[in-house]
Amino acid sequence: MATAYALAHLRRAPIHADVLEYLERIDSTLTPFGGRFIVHGGPVEVLEGTWPGGVVIIEFPDLARARSWYHSAAYQEIKPLRTRHLSGEAILVEGVEADHSSAQMAAELR
């Protein structure tokens, strides 16, 4: 199974007490599913197009655990603390194996 990621593109907004509470509580929701932050709102260097806001990337051992975390009672309890104040998109995506080759992918698509 490939590593999976939860990605969020969140628009900048004034910090609200609910968002601070969300930040204080999210780590404990990740632990049971092997999740860990690998990007959490650092500076974004836009090379093409526009990118308003910040990026969050959370790594999970696999897609099943990423999905289970997102739908867990613990995460669903705190999610409104973020979504009421920050707009944006959130997705789950499966990573590639260590030996992934885009050239091989192209060959298979031909």
Total of domains in the chain: 1
Confidence band of 6 (pLDDT split at 50, 70, 90): very high
- Domain of residue 43: give its range: 4-109
What's the CA gap between 18 and 50, in Å, rounded?
28
How confident is the model at residue 44, as a pLDDT?
A: 94
How confident is the model at residue 1, as a pLDDT?
A: 77
How confident is the model at residue 25, as a pLDDT?
A: 98
Tell me the CATH number at 42. 3.30.70.100
Element containing residue 69 per DSSP (H, E): helix 63-71
Average pLDDT over residues 17-25: 97
| % of the chain exceeding 70 in pLDDT | 100
Confidence band of 5 (pLDDT split at 50, 70, 90): very high
Q: Residue 27: is its pLDDT beyond 80?
A: yes
- CA-nearest of 70, 87, 90 to 7 is 90
Positive or negative CA dihedral for 26, 55, 86, 76? negative
- Residue 9 bridge partners (DSSP): 55, 89
The one-letter code for the residue type at 57 is: I
DSSP 53: S
